[in-house]
Amino acid sequence: LGGSISRALQQMSNATIIDEKVLNECLNEITRALLQSDVQFKLVRDMQTNIKKIVNLDDLAAGHNKRKIIQQAVFNELCKMLDPGKPSFIPKKGKTSVVMFVGLQGSGKTTTCTKYAYHYQKKGWKPALVCADTFRAGAFDQLKQNATKAKIPFYGSYMESDPVKIAEEGVERFKKENCDLIIVDTSGRHKQEAALFEEMRQVSEATKPDLVIFVMDSSIGQAAFDQAQAFKQSVAVGAVIVTKMDGHAKGGGALSAVAATKSPVIFIGTGEHMDEFEVFDVKPFVSRLLGMGDWSGFMDKIHEVVPMDQQPELLQKLSEGNFTLRIMYEQFQNILKMGPISQVFSMLPGFSSELMPKGREKESQAKIKRYMTMMDSMTEEELDSSNPKMMNESRMMRIARGSGRHVREVMEMMEEYKRLAKIWSKMKGLKIPKKGDMSAL
């Protein structure tokens, strides 16, 4: 017993060992966050092993921001794990490419096919959709509806039951029509699993896709690896799209899908609508996995830029997740008054690109002023509500009249509000470190 106590004391006095303890504590904490985010256990373990090799204990002993050093190392390691080392096939405008979508039923294939087509259509491409799902009743109707809404040509059949035949015919037809992006939607279920994979193999053989995209629901959790691998074994998966990132799931399964398919994530789905679709960006994705929200550098900036006396209130509101029009008003005031706060918000996705596009600050300011004029005509109740539904037509008409603006502009402002509220709500429950907390360890 005496020996073990003296050994413990010896350890206490040995700085390096204490720092190893810090490292382990930190890693354990991060591991918990990652497992909660559905990152596969094996991948977490590999990451831990690598971090221990990378992080220099002497640096930890000397530096103050131990947690930051470790977190940064983990961050970089996760970014690396999401990079399979080779880019996916990139379709070329004006040249025909066939892209086949695969994934289990409900993963979001049909929705994502349209989003993908729409994304390119907006850039002037000529996409087309082919429905090769003959298993699910109503599959063709769903695709047809989506395609019609987006004015994208589509092909499918109510009568034909052979998905291979439909896929082949559809691709042929759209090649003749000089479409440059022919997208093949497939089935995600079968009476037997083996039959599904065989069908995917046959559809792929018949349509010779330039790219096969594996669509994955962000909430499938630990099942992601096996699922992705099963598809990879039957068709040449070359890219991954993660859907439903607007929900609670953090999408850690994406790491598994990348590992299993050796393909990059190219887009994420962030809602049911056609335009709720984003090009995959690794940094915010990893921040979210680690439970850091999308705002790794955000807190630092807040401390730097927001006036001291306003910090606690703003942070409190952030963590509550209720975004009212009044908060929007106050933040607009800050933007106009102080300028630099726009830097803070430019770090938030959404605020940056749309509200304050680079090089167009003057116009953005004018827009913000216009919004504020309209908000000046709102009642207290309206300003403090976080329910956009209360803003009915008669209220919007009244605000338009009161501020001398067009009701269309009020509607536009409400759209902006809803967009910002959505971003804001992601911060709900965010643990807010007080200044200095990050280096407390």
Instruction: Please state the closest distance from residue 376 (CB atom) to ligand GDP, in A.
Output: 35
Buried b (16+ CB within 10 A) or exposed e, 265-299: bbbbbbbeebebbbebebebbbbbbbbbbbbbebb
Pseudo-torsion of CA 144, 147, 150, 152, nearest 10°?
A: -130
Instruction: Please state the closest distance from residue 109 (CB atom) to ligand GDP, in A.
Output: 3
Nearest to 290 by CA among 25, 19, 35: 35
CB 364 within 8 A of CB 409: no
Nearer to ligand GDP, 97 or 243 (CB): 243
> Segment near ligand GDP (CB under 6 A), from 43-51, 168-176, 242-250, 423-431?
242-250
Nearer to Mg ion, 110 or 296 (CB): 110
Torsion-angle region of 271 (φ positive above 0: left; ψ -120 to 50: alpha; else: beta): left
364: contact with ligand GDP by CB under 6 A: no
Among 40, 204, 243, 334, binds ligand GDP (CB under 6 A): 243
111: contact with ligand GDP by CB under 6 A: yes
250: contact with ligand GDP by CB under 6 A: no
Please give the residues from 170 up to 209 whose contact with ligand GDP meets the rule CB under 6 A.
Answer: 188
Task: Find the distance separating the first CA and the last CA of the chain, reported in whole Å.
Answer: 30
Binding residues for ligand GDP, rule CB under 6 A, total 17
Instruction: Please state the closest distance from residue 189 (CB atom) to ligand GDP, in A.
Output: 8
Nearer to ligand GDP, 226 or 272 (CB): 272
Nearer to ligand GDP, 228 or 318 (CB): 228
Phi/psi at 83 (nearest 5 deg)?
-110, 105
Binds 271: which of ligand GDP, Mg ion, none (CB < 5-8 Å by kind): ligand GDP
Among 66, 67, 244, 288, binds ligand GDP (CB under 6 A): 244
Among 163, 209, 269, 284, binds ligand GDP (CB under 6 A): 269
Beta bridge pairs of residue 97: 181
Helix-helix angle 393-403:361-376, to 10 degrees: 110
Q: What is the distance between the alpha carbons of residues 246 and 256, in angstroms, rounded to a whole number? A: 20
Instruction: Please state the closest distance from residue 276 (CB atom) to ligand GDP, in A.
Output: 6
Instruction: Please state the closest distance from residue 107 (CB atom) to ligand GDP, in A.
Output: 4
Instruction: Please state the closest distance from residue 403 (CB atom) to ligand GDP, in A.
Output: 34
Nearer to Mg ion, 218 or 342 (CB): 218
Output the six-digit token pair for 155.
């092909």
- Which residue in the block uniquely carries the two structure tokens 């609670």? 248
Task: Look up residue 352 and give its DSSP letter.
Answer: I
For Mg ion, which residue has the nearest CB?
A: 110
Task: Look up residue 308 and give its DSSP letter.
Answer: G
Q: What is the distance between the alpha carbons of residues 306 and 343, in angstroms, rounded to a whole number? A: 11
246: contact with ligand GDP by CB under 6 A: yes
156: contact with ligand GDP by CB under 6 A: no
- Residue 170 vs residues 174, 179, 184, 200: alpha-carbon distances, Å: 6, 11, 8, 16
- Contact residues toward Mg ion (CB under 5 A) are 109-110
- Residue 266 vs residues 87, 239, 321: alpha-carbon distances, Å: 9, 6, 29
Nearer to ligand GDP, 52 or 422 (CB): 422
Instruction: Please state the closest distance from residue 215 (CB atom) to ligand GDP, in A.
Output: 6
Nearer to ligand GDP, 106 or 221 (CB): 106
Q: What is the distance between the alpha carbons of residues 210 and 228, in angstroms, rounded to a whole number? A: 18
Among 105, 219, 222, 385, binds ligand GDP (CB under 6 A): 105
Nearer to ligand GDP, 67 or 244 (CB): 244
Q: What is the distance between the alpha carbons of residues 38 and 251, in angstroms, rounded to a whole number? A: 7
Binds 108: which of ligand GDP, Mg ion, none (CB < 5-8 Å by kind): ligand GDP
Nearer to ligand GDP, 186 or 324 (CB): 186
CB 265 within 8 A of CB 258: yes
Q: Which residues contact 78 (CB under 8 A, 6 or more apart)?
A: 47, 255, 286, 289, 290
Nearer to Mg ion, 243 or 324 (CB): 243
Instruction: Please state the closest distance from residue 196 (CB atom) to ligand GDP, in A.
Output: 12
What is the enclosing helix (H) or strand (E) of 434?
none
- Measured in whole angstroms, the distance separating CA 176 from the mean position of its chain's CA atoms is 36
Instruction: Please state the closest distance from residue 63 (CB atom) to ligand GDP, in A.
Output: 41
Instruction: Please state the closest distance from residue 21 (CB atom) to Mg ion, in A.
Output: 51
Residues that bind ligand GDP (CB under 6 A): 103, 105-111, 188, 243-244, 246-247, 269-272
